[in-house]
């Protein structure tokens, strides 16, 4: 990794892209410290400290959620809009046809995703504004303050969406993913300070911190192995004679990733479980709402069970949406290929589907385990941190993907130099 970064830094074009990405990170961090006007900061801090469920959203926003800045909602509305649009392309035939039209179709879907982001941002901002008003977090309550809050939060999310697309175009890696990555990594110094305070205050011992470090290293290694894990299905292509040339005859493979869905099932499951807790918090003095809040507390057995089941469900669902074994089998047959021992067509599709179902189960269980791991680590070590398994999955996944893009840029320049 360090060698790749060193080689990339020596090339002027890649160096400019890296510097541009770092400057956009700086802009993001500056925006995370611009507060929304008219909010009582102390009252808000007390409100957010009472709910651990806000922790993950605070982490991915780089602390902007807890400070309630203009970037408090982060990029989550865009992510949710993207997931919803991907699901709709399967359900709605016109969107499915649009997705298969190439660059123009994808541009249209991206445009729809942007509109969806604005709608979701407004709805979420209105909900947060109502919640703040009910908790007395406004300095001077009134319609004007509600409007300022909604406009500020929506504008912040739209700005992050634009910033992410700018990084994708002129920087290195996927801009949206890198913004989430930057938000999570920016919380590491605060986490290190918290651990130091635990030690100095006697809340946690040296052995607990060492145990936590060992668990963190093992989990990072497991996440890397799972992110890179593949099941390779061998494919043989028959020889074809076209004129005087012979085509095909080579052996290749279909790489089926163990974690085909990435971190999306975790985010989607968390968003769904976050919804009833948010609604219940609007009615703090209602007995039924208090029961719902207790049931959906992140440390409750019900919450963890539902969380794990939803992650497993969405892993299978998203994998089925994004990967179609029948299309893969048809493409193999179209180009004269076959899996050794299987007939082309339907038998090949059924074989791929069986393998995909088995490895998806392993990936889904692993995702559920990683997502619930912070609860067990807190119970064993006594160290209360928000940088949990979900954040780790995102950080490792984005880092690996960005390094792959850097390597592809370097490889492209090698080929250009060889051709010249």
Note whether 122 and 22 are same-domain residues. Answer: yes
Does the pLDDT of residue 161 top 80, yes or no?
Answer: yes
Give the per-residue pLDDT at 241: 61
Query: What's the average model confidence in pLDDT over 18-25?
Result: 90
User: Does a structural domain hold residue 97?
Assistant: yes
Answer whether residue 52 shows pLDDT above 60. no
Q: What is the CATH number of the domain that holds 271?
A: 1.10.3370.10
d(CA 280, CA 264): 25
pLDDT tens digits, one per residue of 325-353: 888 888 888 877 888 888 888 888 899 89
The whole-angstrom separation of Cα 49 and Cα 47 is 6
List, in order, residues 6 or more apart from 245 with CB less than 8 Å away: none
pTM: 0.75
236 and 342 part of one domain: yes
What pLDDT does 386 receive?
Answer: 56
260 with 179, same domain: the answer is: no
Q: Do 62 and 94 belong to one domain?
A: yes
On whether both 139 and 84 belong to a single domain, the answer is yes
412, part of any domain: no
| Same domain for 135 and 28 | yes
> Domain check: are 35 and 143 in the same one?
yes
Number of domains in the chain: 2
Asked if 168 and 313 sit in the same domain, the reply is: no
Statement to judge: residues 33 and 179 lie in one domain: yes
Confidence of residue 155 (pLDDT cuts 50, 70, 90): very high
Q: What is the pLDDT of residues 56-114, one digit of tens each?
A: 566 666 566 677 788 888 888 888 888 788 778 878 888 888 877 777 888 888 899 99
Write down which residue in 147, 165, 187 finishes a domain. Answer: 187
Residues 268 and 243 in one domain: yes
Q: How far is CA 220 from CA 1, 38, 57, 363, 394, in A?
A: 16, 41, 21, 15, 11
Note down the domain range covering 318. 200-385
Same domain, 232 and 344: yes
Task: For residue 40, tell me if it sits in a domain.
Answer: yes
- In this prediction, residues 373-388 reach a mean pLDDT of 66
Residue 399 is predicted with a pLDDT of: 82
């Amino acid at each position: 990794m360090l060698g790749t970064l060193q080689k990339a830094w020596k090339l002027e074009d890649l160096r400019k892209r890296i510097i541009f990405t770092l400057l956009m990170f700086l802009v993001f961090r500056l925006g995370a410290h611009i507060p929304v006007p008219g909010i009582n900061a102390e009252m808000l801090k007390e409100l957010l400290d009472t709910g651990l469920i806000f922790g993950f959203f605070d982490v991915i926003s780089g602390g902007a959620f807890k400070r309630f800045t203009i970037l408090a909602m982060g990029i989550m509305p865009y992510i949710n809009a993207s997931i919803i649009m991907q699901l709709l392309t399967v359900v709605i035939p016109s969107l499915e046809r649009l997705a298969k039209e190439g660059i123009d179709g994808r541009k249209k879907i991206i445009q729809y995703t942007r509109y969806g982001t604005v709608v979701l941002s407004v709805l979420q901002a209105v909900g947060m504004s109502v919640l703040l008003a009910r908790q007395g977090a406004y300095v001077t309550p009134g319609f004007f303050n509600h409007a300022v809050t909604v406009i500020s939060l929506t504008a912040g999310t739209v700005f992050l969406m634009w910033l992410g697309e700018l990084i994708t175009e002129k920087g290195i890696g996927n801009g949206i993913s890198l913004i989430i990555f930057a938000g999570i990594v920016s919380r590491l110094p605060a986490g290190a300070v918290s651990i130091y305070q635990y030690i100095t205050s006697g809340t946690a011992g040296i052995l607990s911190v060492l145990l936590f470090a060992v668990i963190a290293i093992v989990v990072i290694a497991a996440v890397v192995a799972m992110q890179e894990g593949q099941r390779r299905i061998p494919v043989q292509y028959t020889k074809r004679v076209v004129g005087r040339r012979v085509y095909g005859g080579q052996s290749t493979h279909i790489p089926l990733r163990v974690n085909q869905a990435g971190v999306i099932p975790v985010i989607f499951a968390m968003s769904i479980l976050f919804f009833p807790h948010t609604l219940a918090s609007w009615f703090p003095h209602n007995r039924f709402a208090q029961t719902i809040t207790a049931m959906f507390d992140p440390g409750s057995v019900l919450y963890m069970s539902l969380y794990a089941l939803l992650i497993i469900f969405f892993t299978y669902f998203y994998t089925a949406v994004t990967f179609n074994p029948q299309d893969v089998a048809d493409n193999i047959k179209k180009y004269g290929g076959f899996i050794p021992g299987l007939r082309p067509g339907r038998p090949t599709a059924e074989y791929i589907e069986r393998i995909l179902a088995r490895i998806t189960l392993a990936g889904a269980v692993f995702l559920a385990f990683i997502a619930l791991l912070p609860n067990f680590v807190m119970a064993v070590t006594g160290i209360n941190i928000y940088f949990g398994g979900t954040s780790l999955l995102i950080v490792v996944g984005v880092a690996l993907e960005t390094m792959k893009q850097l390597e592809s840029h370097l490889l492209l320049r090698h080929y250009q130099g060889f051709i010249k």
